[in-house]
Structure 1
């Protein structure tokens, strides 16, 4: 009689995947099924799942999912689960292994082993039961010894890597794609071309360019993506984001699984991106999650993307474009849901004149040294600051782990925590000195030079070169998000279309019409401007922006809004 047979294959480690273990398991099971006259209808495969740890029985494993279906009665009685050997199915203690086999066979599903020819049913003979139990016990004991050997070997390898002795680079299973091990496995060979591309990606990200645009730029150059594992040709945004957040660019080895999960080995890889650029790129990438926006069909991008809302319904307002009867394109802001008839505000708010006025008011105040390339003394100080901040964060995390795990009688752990505290205090003092150096070096850039740099960025934002314009506008968008809370499209009581910019946590604002005229300040409460309710030190920070708004209110117009 032909049986419905499912072959089960499994391996535990990445190294096994490189060999022919799956092919061998399939071949042996297929030959056994053919000899029995059975028809193989499917294959279950668990890659990198340890039977000793029971990982292959978890809900995310194929055998675990199969067992759940058996329990629910979804697998027909008479089905055969065929494996190469018993240890493919279990290396757990004998009680667990035998209970699992009984749980499967009691539902009418048979278990067959190709190496011994055994077929287990719900009611095995005493000889079969005892023989299986003995083999299960032997498998578990063998796995326990193997696991202990592996732990000892990996611990030795970690210690070698800390000292960079012997074949220490073998600690990493998969190596970053800009590196390869040397022949002796005691050092790294760097791929300069790929390292340059990595640095370009970080610089673009720090400049405010998003992962989608970076991927598009690499594909247009074109730059061949790395890794044969890719299912689709070309770079993608996920790969870009993973690269930006990869600790290996800073030289850190951070295991994602296994016995060293949660540990960090600093300096395991060569650092390929300086600390300051890493910090800027990651901060910019994080901030873009909150400032997503649309680009108009004309190629014009909203400098306030992610900050622009409809004053009527509160939904996002987006940038779009249209062409008038004379063939002239113009850009406008519109409520996102107005086209669906779900918002009463259905108007189109002309954008370009408003943008120019907003740039006049606060561009040079929004853009500080974070947004410009720096060199010399200031550059060195910024790199040093980023490196110190990272070291301090790492040591604090290490001290926290020690303090949360050590026993009160463990004097060695207590001494280690105290030593770390002393180191952290010293590094924190050095960090404060470095911040002072940065402030002094930044002060060397005078007001005239700062305005020149800002005007260069503004001019680049209007460039006919799409790459130049895109990069400059990304920087401007990032700068505005630091001082602007929101931009709302509204109408006055007279029906006039206006943009309302809220600055500094909402305590300061300005209303600008679609012709770019500043109408008035909208930050009054209790008889005086809201910013005057702030403490004196915060008023001092707001003062330059307040002065600039007053300069634009040369002849305030009476608004229809009360």
Structure 2
């Protein structure tokens, strides 16, 4: 016999206990208990995706050849979608070969036996009452939350729910948010570290090493939670009302509410962190501060599509007495024995020189040489302006839909105002972009070439800070320009495709007893 009940938590104990006692009185052996925590019987998710669905599949597969009884406290534990859905499901179960029993009425619905009219009437009454009760509860709850959102939006209520971000708590009556200062300091540190170029994983590791307690019930800090904090607008005080019908994803409702939470991060710091994160995407990440592989995330094996992995063997003394850097790129699938047979070792120094010859002039722009002290404030201001513009566009589009639907004059007035806000925002963003171009500084082609040569000379600078800064800049620039980079053993070379729709092939040729890179370009079609 199998016990089924969808209720979770403290409410679960009594129904399950009643089922166990009923089974014992009947002499039935309990072989399993099906408990779907928080899965809705009103929406039918428990039958469509929950453990009840698995139960039916197991019955059909012949798991219990001697027969099995599904015991539940009441029929509405199985479905609250109405009597027709309930009856149809019970017929489906009994046709598959299982019986259904209820504790409250003592009914047993068996395979191959016709359901009496009185049982059908009872099913109709109980099924419809359960459905109506659930519908009314859902409607009242939805209306209650809608009213709360309206009061919050109009400023009549300060706190919608006791749930709050990890750096806040709810106190007093009427309820209000209070900043937990030590946690807010941690959040500010996370943003400041991000602006300073420290990655999420490193931030989480540092917090764990220092014994900083995580928010909530987690055992430690994780990069995913650092990411969640950095993406949150709650740190700026914004709250986005939403709704989450049972068994569905949360949906935004209405406009975001400013100053709902106490702001713990100013807009400039938030925007600066956003800019910093964009520059620290996965594509341009490197191990440690050396960034030995400038093409990490781009380089692929042309034969199998696997990434080219870095193998560092350091300096080696050759028979000629010359010291050579023995660092290579090799197909990851070949190295791990995963099926690729192309095991050619591409010397990093040699191929790096050829690839940079091919793409660096196009990749490095004026902005890559600009003073960060001048450019950073403008980048922050631009990022914040773009964020405000995107929010205004969303509001404008939502009001436009409402205007098309209602044609009400007050909605038209609102739409006109939002159109003006968007136009002003677009103008401000365009102006900021022009100012940013000017701040980055444009130079002559000859001077630009001198800047590039000087930067390449610093790739192997003895000063770690200079070397890291140079390699970071070049790595970011290359990743912005290059879409694909495929290493081939036959013919030996590297094929590069750029965002400018240009294809470049880098190969090696002999020159006076030694080989050097040669670049062949294929222009984009007209």
- Which range, TM-score by smaller chain? 0.7 to 0.9
Conservation of the 8 A alpha-carbon contact between 1:338 and 1:346: no
Matches within 5 A, 1:274-285: 274=267, 275-281=270-276, 283-284=278-279
1:436-493: CA deviation from partner (whole Å, max 9, x where unpaired): 4444555599x99xx8xx97x968996669xx98898656533431234555657899
Q: Using a 3 Å threshold, how does the CA distance of structure 1 residues 312 and 93 change in structure 2: closer, same or farther?
A: closer
Instruction: Trace 1:63-82 onto structure 2 (pairs within 5 A).
Output: 63-70=52-59, 76=65, 78-82=67-71
C-alpha deviation, 1:381, in angstroms: 4.2
The alpha carbon displacement at 1:127 in A equals 3.6
Measured at CA, do residues 372 and 440 of structure 1 come closer, stay the same or move farther in structure 2, by a change above 3 Å? closer
**Corresponding residue for residue 365 of structure 1:** 364
Go from structure 1 to structure 2 and tell me whether the alpha carbon gap of 1:472 and 1:21 turns closer, same or farther (over 3 Å shift).
Answer: farther
Greater shift after overlay, 241-250 or 134-143? 241-250
Q: Secondary structure at the match of 2:100?
A: strand
- Secondary structure of the residue aligned to 1:253 is coil
Q: 1:66 to 1:444 in 2, by over 3 A?
A: same
Question: What is the 5 A alignment of 1:110-149?
Answer: 110-121=99-110, 122-149=113-140
Say whether the 8 Å CA contact 1:499–1:514 is kept in structure 2.
no
Q: 1:44 to 1:265 in 2, by over 3 A?
A: farther
Instruction: Give TM-score, length-normalised by structure 2.
Output: 0.74
- 1:332-364: CA deviations, max 9, x gaps? 223445555845562341438947995996699
Structure 2: 5+ residue stretches without partners: 318-322
Say which SS state the counterpart of residue 80 (structure 2) adopts.
coil
Task: Output the aligned Cα RMSD.
Answer: 4.9
Partner of 1:332: 328
Q: Distance in 1 between matches of 2:35 and 2:351?
A: 62
2:320 is matched with which residue?
none
Secondary structure of the structure 2 residue equivalent to 1:111:
strand
In 2, Cα distance between equivalents of 1:443 and 1:192: 42
Q: Secondary structure at the match of 1:131?
A: helix
SS for the counterpart of 1:169 is coil
Residue of structure 2 aligned with 1:154, choices 145, 164, 175? 145
* Alpha-carbon distance in structure 1 between the residues aligned to 2:77 and 2:326: 67
Classify the secondary structure of the residue corresponding to 2:344: coil
Equivalent residue of 1:39, what SS? coil
For residues 359-417 of structure 1, give each alpha carbon's deviation from its aligned partner in whole angstroms, at most 9, with x where no partner exists: 99669935837998648xx6554434323322322232333344456655532555544
Q: Which residue of 2 aligns with 1:548?
A: none
Q: CA deviation at 1:302?
A: 1.0
The equivalent position to 1:308 in structure 2, one of 299, 313, 320, is 299
Q: Does residue 257 of structure 1 match 2:256? A: no
Partners of 2:93 and 2:489 in 1: CA distance: 70
Quote the Cα distance in structure 1 between the aligned partners of 2:371 and 2:160.
38
- Secondary structure of 1:49's counterpart equals coil
**Per-residue CA shift, 1:499-525, capped at 9, x if unaligned?**
78776636486969799x996773556
Unaligned 5+ segments in structure 1 are: 12-16, 535-562
Whether the 8 Å contact between 2:392 and 2:422 is mirrored in structure 1 is yes
Secondary structure, in 3 states, of the residue corresponding to 1:388? helix
Aligned to 1:551: none
Does structure 1 conserve the Cα–Cα contact (< 8 Å) formed by 2:354 and 2:518? no
Check whether the contact 1:206–1:284 (CA below 8 A) recurs between aligned residues.
no
TM-score for both structures, normalised by structure 1: 0.70
Q: Report the Cα distance in structure 1 between the residues aligned to 2:381 and 2:149, rounded to whole angstroms.
A: 28
Counterpart Cα distance in 2 of 1:157 and 1:370: 52
**Distance in structure 2 (CA, Å) of the matches to 1:103 and 1:490:** 59
1:433 to 1:68, Cα distance in 2 relative to 1, 3 A:
same
Asked whether the equivalents of residues 303 and 340 of structure 2 are also in contact (C-alpha less than 8 Å), the reply is no
1:7 to 1, 4, 16: 4
Once the two structures are TM-superposed, the CA of residue 159 in structure 1 deviates from its matched residue by 0.8
Give, in whole Å, the separation in 2 of the partners of 1:370 and 1:265.
38
Q: Secondary structure at the match of 1:351?
A: helix
Change (3 A) 1:443 1:417: same
| Secondary structure at the counterpart of residue 31 of structure 2 | strand
**Higher mean C-alpha deviation, range 37-46 or range 471-480:** 471-480
CA distance in 1, matches of 2:407, 2:499: 50
